[in-house]
C-alpha cells in the first residue's frame, strides 16, 4: 500500500491527508503570498541596488532638475536633480534597517521587562514594587500618541537614523512588555514551573529554560506586524522633515519632495 493511502477497519483503502506544510499554507492564501512577494521584492531591491548601473542616489545635479522620464533617468529626477529610480531602489536599505533594528530592540527590551514583570507580579517586597512600577511607566508611554511621542523623541535626540531607531524602540517597548507579561501570568501557573522552582531554579533560570521558549510564538508574530508599523513611523517622520537627513534616500522624504513640487 502506498504512503498516500491508509486502510480502514473494513479493509477499504482511502487516501490519507498529508500534513499541511508551509508551501500549501501559502498557496491556499493568495493575500498572504502577495505579502511575501512584496516584502521579497523590497529586500531584493535593497540588496541589488548598489550593483545596478544607476546614477548615484545622493549626488545632486542642479542642471538636471525635474527632468521627465527618459533613457538616462527612467523615472525622471526630483527638484534637486537626483535620480528618482536610483533613490527608490536604495531607499529600502534605510527603511528596512530602521524597522528591523527598532523591532528587534523593542522586542528584546520589552519582552525582557514584561517577562520579569509577569513573573514577579503579585509577589511581596521589592520585586512586586518593581513589577508595578514597570507597568505604570508603560501606561505613561502609551498615554501619548505613538507618532507624536516619536516626533518629540527625535526632536530631543536629533535627526538621523540612530535617533529614529531609538525613538521607535522606546514607543514600541510597552506593546511587547504587556504581551510578554500576559504570557507569563499564564505560563507561571504550570506544574513544570513549580517543579523547577522547588528544584532550586531561580527567576532567570525559569525564564530562559522554561518560560521564554514557550512564550516566543506570540512575540514573533507581533514582531512581523510591528516591523511594518516601524516603516510607516520612519517614513512619516521623514515626510514632515524630522527623520532622515537629505539627501539620504528614504521613502518618506521622497514623497515629501514630490508633494512639494506637484
Q: Using an 8 Å Cβ cutoff, are 103 and 224 in contact?
A: no
CATH of the domain at 217: 1.10.3720.10
Average pLDDT over residues 79-84: 89
* 44/93 same-domain check: no
The verdict on residue 75 lying in a domain is no
Instruction: Report how many helices (DSSP H) and strands (DSSP E) the chain contains, helices first.
Output: 10, 2
The verdict on residue 235 lying in a domain is yes
Q: How many domains does the chain have?
A: 2
Q: Which three cell numbers stand for residue 168?
A: 521607535
* 22/96 same-domain check: no
Q: What's the domain range around 32?
A: 5-48
What's the pLDDT score for residue 257? 82
CA dihedral 219, 224, 228, 233 (to 10 degrees): 20
The verdict on residue 210 lying in a domain is yes
* 125/247 same-domain check: yes
* 139/14 same-domain check: no
Average pLDDT over residues 24-48: 82
6 three-class SS: strand
What's the pLDDT score for residue 16? 52
pTM: 0.83
* 117/243 same-domain check: yes
Average pLDDT over residues 96-125: 93
Question: SS3 helix, strand, coil % of the chain, rounded to 5?
Answer: 70, 5, 30
Question: With the C-alpha atoms ordered 199, 202, 203, 209, is the resulting torsion angle positive or negative?
Answer: negative
Placement of cell 517614513 in the chain: 235
* 203/126 same-domain check: yes
Concatenating the DSSP letter of every residue in 47-77 gives HHGGGSS---SS---GGGTTPPS-SS-TT-B
* 254/182 same-domain check: yes
* 243/114 same-domain check: yes
> CA–CA separation, 252 vs 238, rounded Å?
5
Q: Using an 8 Å Cβ cutoff, are 85 and 56 in contact?
A: no
Average pLDDT over residues 167-191: 93
Q: What is the chain's mean pLDDT, rounded?
A: 86
The verdict on residue 65 lying in a domain is no
Proportion of the chain above pLDDT 70, given as a percent: 90
Q: Exposed, middle or buried by CB within 10 Å (0-12, 13-18, 19+), for 8?
A: exposed
The verdict on residue 56 lying in a domain is no
The verdict on residue 244 lying in a domain is yes
Nearest to 101 by CA among 164, 180, 174, 37: 164
Distance of CA 163 to the CA centre of its chain: 16
Q: Give per-residue pLDDT as tens, 118-170.
A: 999 888 889 999 999 999 999 999 999 999 999 999 989 988 899 999 999 99
> CA–CA separation, 45 vs 64, rounded Å?
24
* 198/98 same-domain check: yes
The verdict on residue 151 lying in a domain is yes
The verdict on residue 127 lying in a domain is yes
Q: Give per-residue pLDDT as tens, 24-33.
A: 777 787 877 8
Q: Using an 8 Å Cβ cutoff, are 230 and 168 in contact?
A: yes
> CA–CA separation, 113 vs 179, rounded Å?
11
Q: How far apart are the first and last CA of the chain?
A: 69
Amino acid at each position: 500500500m502506498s504512503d498516500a493511502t491508509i486502510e480502514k477497519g473494513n479493509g477499504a483503502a482511502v487516501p490519507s491527508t498529508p500534513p499541511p506544510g508551509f508551501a500549501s499554507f501559502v498557496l491556499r492564501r493568495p493575500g498572504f503570498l502577495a505579502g511575501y512577494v512584496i516584502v521579497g521584492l523590497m529586500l531584493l531591491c535593497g540588496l541589488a541596488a548598489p550593483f545596478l548601473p544607476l546614477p548615484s542616489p545622493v549626488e545632486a545635479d542642479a542642471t538636471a532638475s525635474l527632468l521627465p522620464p527618459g533613457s538616462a533617468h527612467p523615472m525622471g529626477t526630483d527638484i534637486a536633480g537626483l535620480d528618482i529610480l536610483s533613490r527608490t531602489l536604495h531607499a529600502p536599505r534605510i527603511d528596512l534597517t530602521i524597522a528591523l533594528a527598532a523591532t528587534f530592540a523593542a522586542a528584546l527590551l520589552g519582552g525582557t521587562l514584561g517577562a520579569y514583570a509577569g513573573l514577579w507580579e503579585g509577589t511581596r517586597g521589592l520585586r512586586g514594587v518593581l513589577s508595578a512600577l514597570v507597568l505604570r511607566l508603560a501606561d505613561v508611554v502609551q498615554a501619548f500618541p505613538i507618532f507624536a511621542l516619536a516626533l518629540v523623541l527625535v526632536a530631543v535626540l536629533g535627526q538621523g537614523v540612530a535617533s529614529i531607531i531609538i525613538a521607535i524602540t522606546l514607543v514600541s517597548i510597552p506593546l511587547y512588555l504587556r504581551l510578554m507579561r500576559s504570557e507569563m501570568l499564564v505560563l507561571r501557573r504550570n506544574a513544570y514551573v513549580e517543579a523547577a522552582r522547588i528544584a532550586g531554579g531561580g527567576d532567570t533560570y525559569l525564564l530562559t529554560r522554561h518560560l521564554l521558549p514557550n512564550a516566543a510564538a506570540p512575540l514573533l508574530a507581533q514582531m512581523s506586524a510591528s516591523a511594518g508599523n516601524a516603516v510607516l513611523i520612519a517614513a512619516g517622520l521623514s515626510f514632515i522633515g524630522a527623520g532622515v537627513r537629505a539627501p539620504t534616500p528614504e521613502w518618506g522624504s521622497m514623497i515629501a519632495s514630490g508633494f512639494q513640487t506637484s
